A and B are shown apart, each in its own frame.
Chain A
């Protein structure tokens, strides 16, 4: 993923917790949000594998889901997460992790979003999540 890195390294982190995890997001020309969680040693959850902590990858997925909904609705307030269901498909290696989200439905009050995270190759997802958000 190094040759076609969709993100510049200087994308501003907007919230303290995203800063802590090293999560930055950018939007491509088609309006798709791409999130990047830059690898840092403190993101490790299991040093024996070694693998990233599921909580960090889940945070990346929730973030891209929220940002994609905000991009689609021109919302100024951050939608609130009602629930999130996360499937850990493969161990997340100590590498940079990317994520994007697909809007399944955006209603007046509720949005249902599916977010996927990958590392070396986009067609080998490491984690996927279904996120239900309350818009207002």
Chain B
């Protein structure tokens, strides 16, 4: 199934998703990650610039961990949007190449896409950009391990996509 064949979540659903997600993931809330678009195996987010992202006060550059957190998070959303059934999943590993220095001031956007969904592993590729600039600043490959399906009577985590 292609992304086009699936309906993109509407604005209202995205707003609900943003609310649920911020209650759910405190660090994303603290950094101010905003979900822009969700689709099958796809997520796009924005991280509005904050001075607290600076990692090198002398040369005034953003800490690499800001990008790592954003790409990890966005990849996690794309992995969630790839699930065929509601199962817990955990990040196995991630690799990030910093293609350009992240000089501060501009908002950062991240896009994550499903590469492959196997029985036990989800592979996602994620890219970070400065808003309005098509040249990527960082690229990531993230793998997630799928858990076992939850029992029907289990207390489900509150992470259903509100559509």
- Which chain A residues lie closer than 8 Å to B98 at the CB level? 80-83
- Whether A53 lies near B58 (C-beta < 8 A) is no
- Whether A85 lies near B93 (C-beta < 8 A) is yes
Interface string of A88-130 (1 = CB under 8 A from B): 1001000000000000000000000000000000000000000
Of A44, A55, A81, A91, which one neighbours B90 at CB under 8 angstroms?
A: A91
- Whether B55 lies near A17 (C-beta < 8 A) is yes
- Whether B65 lies near A42 (C-beta < 8 A) is no
Interface string of A55-67 (1 = CB under 8 A from B): 1101110110000
Q: Which of A36-94 contact B (CB under 8 A)?
A: 41-48, 53-56, 58-60, 62-63, 77-78, 80-88, 91
- Which chain B residues lie closer than 8 Å to A85 at the CB level? 93-96
- Whether B92 lies near A59 (C-beta < 8 A) is no
How distant is B63 from chain A, measured CB to nearest CB, in Å? 4
- Whether B30 lies near A58 (C-beta < 8 A) is no
Of B53, B96, B157, which one neighbours A17 at CB under 8 angstroms?
A: B53
Assign chain B's interface to a size class: 35 or more
How distant is A90 from chain B, measured CB to nearest CB, in Å? 10
- Whether B96 lies near A47 (C-beta < 8 A) is no
- Which chain A residues lie closer than 8 Å to B101 at the CB level? 80
A84 to B27, CA, bound (A): 20
- Whether B63 lies near A59 (C-beta < 8 A) is yes
- Which chain B residues lie closer than 8 Å to A7 at the CB level? none
- Which chain A residues lie closer than 8 Å to B56 at the CB level? 15, 78
Of B25, B58, B68, B69, which one neighbours A77 at CB under 8 angstroms?
A: B58
B26 at the A interface (CB under 8 A): yes
B82 at the A interface (CB under 8 A): no
Of A18, A56, A86, which one neighbours B27 at CB under 8 angstroms?
A: A56
A88 to B28, CA, bound (A): 19
Interface string of B15-56 (1 = CB under 8 A from A): 000000000111111100000000000000000000111111
Binding site for B on A (CB under 8 A): 14-21, 41-48, 53-56, 58-60, 62-63, 77-78, 80-88, 91
Known contacts A48-B157, A56-B65, A59-B64; 6 further A-B pairs (Cβ under 8 A): A16-B53, A42-B30, A43-B26, A44-B27, A54-B72, A88-B90
